[in-house]
Amino acid sequence: MKYIIMAGGNYTRFETPKQLTEINGERLIERTIRLLREAGIEDIAISSNNERFEGFGVPVLHHENGWVVRGNEDVDGWWVDCFYPTEEAACYVFGDVFFSPEAIRTIVETDTSGIMLFGSKKPFAPDYPKPYREPFAYKVVDQERFREAIKLTKKWHEQGRFSRHPIAWELWKVICGTPLRKGARGYTVINDYTCDIDTPEDTRRFGDD
Q: What is the mean pLDDT of residues 196-209?
A: 71
* Domains of the chain, CATH where assigned: 2-142+187-200 (3.90.550.10)
Q: What is the mean pLDDT of residues 58-66?
A: 85
- Which pLDDT score, from 0 to 100, does residue 88 have? 96
- Which pLDDT score, from 0 to 100, does residue 132 have? 92
Tell me which long-range contacts 113-116 makes (C-beta under 8 A, separation of at least 24). 113/141, 113/142, 114/141, 114/142, 114/145, 115/139, 115/140, 115/141, 115/142, 115/145, 115/146, 115/149, 115/175, 116/187, 116/188
More confident residue, 182 or 121: 121
pLDDT at 208 over 60: no
pLDDT at 183 over 90: no
Residues 179, 3: Cα–Cα separation, whole Å: 30
Q: What pLDDT, in 10s, does the model give residues 90-136?
A: 999 999 999 999 999 999 999 999 999 999 999 999 999 999 999 99
Q: What is the percent of the chain where pLDDT is above 90?
A: 66
Q: What pLDDT, in 10s, does the model give residues 135-155?
A: 999 999 999 999 999 999 999
Q: What is the mean pLDDT of residues 20-30?
A: 91
| Arithmetic mean of pLDDT over the chain | 89
Band (pLDDT 50/70/90 cuts) for residue 51 is: confident
- Which pLDDT score, from 0 to 100, does residue 125 have? 95
pLDDT at 53 over 80: yes
Q: Taking the model in full, what pTM does it have? A: 0.92
Q: What is the mean pLDDT of residues 178-206?
A: 86
Band (pLDDT 50/70/90 cuts) for residue 158 is: very high
Q: What is the mean pLDDT of residues 194-198?
A: 89
- Which pLDDT score, from 0 to 100, does residue 63 have? 80
For 196, which DSSP code?
Answer: E
